[in-house]
Structure 1
Amino acid sequence: MMKRVVITGLGAITPIGKNVTHYWKNLLNGISGANKISRFDSTNFKTQFACEIKEYDVLDYFGRKEARKLDRYSQYGLISTEEAIKDAKLEFSTLNSNRIGVIFSSGIGGFETFENEVIEYTKNDFNPRFNPFFIPKIIANGLSGMISIKYGLRGVNYTPVTACASSTQSIIQAFNYIRLEKADIIITGGSEAPITQASIGGFNAMKAMSTNNTNYITASKPFDTNRDGFVVGEGAGTLIIESLDSALKRNANIYAEIIGGGETSDAYHITGTHPEGLGAYLAMENGIKEAKITPKDIDYINAHATSTGLGDLSEIKAIEKLFQSNINNIQISATKSMTGHLLGATGAIEAIATCLSVNKDLIPPTINTTKIDENIPNELNLSLGTKSYKKINYALSNSFGFGGHCSALILKKYVG
């Protein structure tokens, strides 16, 4: 019999809150994290705004010497992980570190470091005097290793990289390791710091991002007929997950139970989702089957819903097909309308939001959406405008990434 797996700690640093308490409060209050880019002069870019972390000073968290060794994405991940460890009340000295692992993602890794080093290289007549920390700072698995080293954890340690599905797949893999008894506790989640010149310019070249520079506060508007692309965000989310046996032994606070995860491929296009949402449908279906429940049991869906034309519709088609006659009983919300799209970290912060929804029977709203796309059925409950209260026994969180990667995480209200 496989082990039951529960969530016992949460940590987050996001564009709408630098810890879980503030993040959750602002989600419920429908606060937008969008602002003019402050990191660099964006005047000549088609998109001049993003969802940045507000009033961030690295020296509030790290010493000057340590900060120089860390790319921004690693800083965010270490900050959210420390919060989650404290929240879970983990005392590593009393636990078997050989049975504690780290599965932690980033879609891009140290993009800011890479960009800055290359710019300096070209400025200095192409003289190859790179920072000795250049490579350790940019590799996507560097953060996972740093977490393991910092806390002396010798269990499984690796980094799934599947673009915007990355951190949801990290959580699913962590879930599998624990239920198969290969680990007792795993620190999992994702971090991303993609607000750089190359990132903004690259996504603009793909015509993937909103260019609504005059009304950027409302630019992320999933499902809206006037949506024109996603709004990029930054930050990190960390979850402490462990076997129920371990949690009970520690007398830990349990937020929710993980009961399933689906991982599939669209097998369609390197950047676009399948028009009929085939991969999304299979991911949700597989996760629900693994959880040993039916589509009728799902009460809430935290949608991937990035505010792109094709992406939003393909996900809705997949949901319609899977849930059919029960679709009127399900609430759907798109929290990217507030946080923006954190790429490889988005699944982690949305898993945290979904976990708290299950725990507290509260659903964050979808904001900014005023005119629903005519291709989306009117009977769907998209949680527009304000938070809502609903008994949530089972919830689903979707994440999809470039390359056709599809993942769906299934959470259950914990019952002893």
Structure 2
Amino acid sequence: MQLKRVVVTGLGALTPIGNNIQEYWDALISGKSGAAPITYYDTEKHKTKFACEVKNFKVEDFIDRKEARRLDKFSQYAIVASDEAIKDAGITPENINKHRVGVIWGAGIGGLETFQEEVLSYAAGDGTPRFNPFFIPKMIADIAPAHISMRNGFMGPNYTTVSACASSANAMIDAFNYIRLGMCDVIISGGSEAAVTIAGMGGFNSMHALSTRNDSPETASRPFDATRDGFVLGEGAGALVLEEYEHAKARGAKIYCEIGGGGMSSDAYHLTAPHPEGIGVIAVMENCLRDAGVQPEEVEHINTHGTSTPLGDVAELKAISAVFGDHAKNININSTKSMTGHLLGAAGGIEAIASILAIKNGIIPPTINHTTVDENINPELNLTLNKAQKRAIKIAMSNTFGFGGHNACVLFKKLEA
């Protein structure tokens, strides 16, 4: 069977450093931090008092007020980002077959704020189980792609992938496979998350996963730095329109890049910690390269998972050195989480967009907040520290890993005729 080629024809973003694609990209290449004190609730008794919130966002500017009340924030974010991506791709009812357009979305947690509010409301009552009739439809993780589908009349495959922080990368790989197997023409993919809540922050704090650098939130996310002390929680959404190449050409769509391949693996090691030698990460990158038919020495850029955790950063860079050998020092490696924080199930979406725009624009966004060399990290690696670097790129990879040992890697290629 001849596999179809798959390209990216539309992008949309709602992030802690920009509420659309242009704002997001401008902030990335300028090295802007999205971390700031939390505004959603009183943090007085919390260990971590900051996060990467979406800023200056009014949902009623994008979604009818009555409809918005029936949506958890993670679904609101999904709709806004996907609307931008669909418009960017020029998708209209006239140039698609709605039965061959799907939505495959990623979310690691789903409607956490809704769950928190309903349970707290019940606990404060007299024990009578009074719940909002929209409680379950707002909370469940599959509901974001359902809303995207209903909003646009897309009648192809529709579901959510849930693999913690690898969720939206897994969604993109599923979408890529559906299209290249000829089962769909177009799929809206990516992910969204809105876990900056009392429960979300408290839960991650109890695991000692979050940075507690409350005196300097904007510098707290510092991947690869010797003084890193945990990740910074972020929120938002990233959406991509994946499309079969000939279908995109036939309707005259602009094309950002081609998706070359995707890889998946499992650490099979620990509930939350990576394997110290990065064995699962080695496997996922090798699987991705094999799927894409790309040699290691052809890769020029890797947007790492790079969460700013003591164990994770070292394990991932060890894995990169193991896979790419001496060529690893020629790769521009970065972590855009230094600016956006960690968007959990949406991380793969916004980081794929960063990789695609790096190919398109010939600029690698920096890894900001690096001040102290970690002796456990190979000093020959180019971690694109503190300042964006210009470079023509043909092939880039994006890594995302999740609690439970879920690993996903997607490879993007500059389109060759």
How would you bin the TM-score normalised by the shorter chain? over 0.9
CA distance in 2, matches of 1:398, 1:95: 31
Q: TM-score, normalised by structure 1?
A: 0.99
Match of 1:74, SS? helix
CA distance in 1, matches of 2:393, 2:126: 60
CA distance in 2, matches of 1:385, 1:250: 41
Code of the residue aligned with 2:184 in structure 1: it is: A
Aligned to 2:360: 359
Are the aligned partners of 2:169 and 2:348 in contact in 1 as well (CA < 8 Å)?
Answer: yes
Aligned to 1:170: 171
Aligned to 2:29: 28
> How far has the Cα of 1:70 moved from its partner?
0.3
Which sits farther off after the overlay, 94-103 or 27-36? 94-103
Aligned to 2:229: 228
> How far has the Cα of 1:127 moved from its partner?
2.1
Match of 2:171, SS? helix
* 2:334 paired with 1:337: no
* 2:86 paired with 1:85: yes
Code of the residue aligned with 2:375 in structure 1: it is: E
> How far has the Cα of 1:392 moved from its partner?
0.6
* 2:60 paired with 1:76: no
CA distance in 2, matches of 1:403, 1:126: 35
* 2:112 paired with 1:103: no
Aligned to 1:406: 407
> How far has the Cα of 1:105 moved from its partner?
1.1
Q: Any residues of structure 2 matched to 1:182-193 within 5 Å, and which?
A: 182-193=183-194
Match of 2:165, SS? helix
* 2:259 paired with 1:258: yes
CA distance in 2, matches of 1:226, 1:188: 35
Q: Cα deviation per residue 1:181-210 (whole Å; 9 max; x = unaligned)? A: 010100000000000001100000000000
Q: Any residues of structure 2 matched to 1:14-53 within 5 Å, and which?
A: 14-53=15-54
Match of 1:411, SS? strand
> How far has the Cα of 1:213 moved from its partner?
0.2
Q: Any residues of structure 2 matched to 1:349-388 within 5 Å, and which?
A: 349-388=350-389
Q: Any residues of structure 2 matched to 1:132-281 within 5 Å, and which?
A: 132-281=133-282
> How far has the Cα of 1:93 moved from its partner?
3.3
Match of 1:406, SS? strand
Code of the residue aligned with 2:355 in structure 1: it is: T
Which sits farther off after the overlay, 122-131 or 351-360? 122-131
Aligned to 1:66: 67
Match of 1:94, SS? coil
Aligned to 1:8: 9
CA distance in 2, matches of 1:272, 1:151: 40
Match of 2:213, SS? coil
CA distance in 1, matches of 2:159, 2:118: 26
Are the aligned partners of 2:36 and 2:50 in contact in 1 as well (CA < 8 Å)?
Answer: yes
Code of the residue aligned with 1:347 in structure 2: it is: G
Are the aligned partners of 2:108 and 2:164 in contact in 1 as well (CA < 8 Å)?
Answer: yes
> How far has the Cα of 1:157 moved from its partner?
1.0
Q: Cα deviation per residue 1:154-173 (whole Å; 9 max; x = unaligned)? A: 11111110000000010011
> How far has the Cα of 1:99 moved from its partner?
0.7
CA distance in 2, matches of 1:212, 1:185: 43
CA distance in 1, matches of 2:126, 2:380: 61
CA distance in 2, matches of 1:208, 1:126: 34
CA distance in 2, matches of 1:85, 1:61: 14
Residue segments in structure 1 that go unaligned for 5+ positions in a row: none
CA distance in 2, matches of 1:51, 1:203: 14
CA distance in 1, matches of 2:248, 2:129: 51
CA distance in 2, matches of 1:271, 1:347: 18
Which sits farther off after the overlay, 324-333 or 59-68? 59-68
Match of 1:93, SS? coil
Which sits farther off after the overlay, 146-155 or 346-355? 146-155
Give the CA RMSD over aligned residues: 0.7
> How far has the Cα of 1:4 moved from its partner?
0.5
Q: Any residues of structure 2 matched to 1:120-131 within 5 Å, and which?
A: 120-131=121-132
CA distance in 2, matches of 1:127, 1:48: 34
Match of 1:159, SS? strand
Aligned to 1:303: 304
> How far has the Cα of 1:146 moved from its partner?
1.1
Aligned to 2:119: 118
> How far has the Cα of 1:130 moved from its partner?
0.4
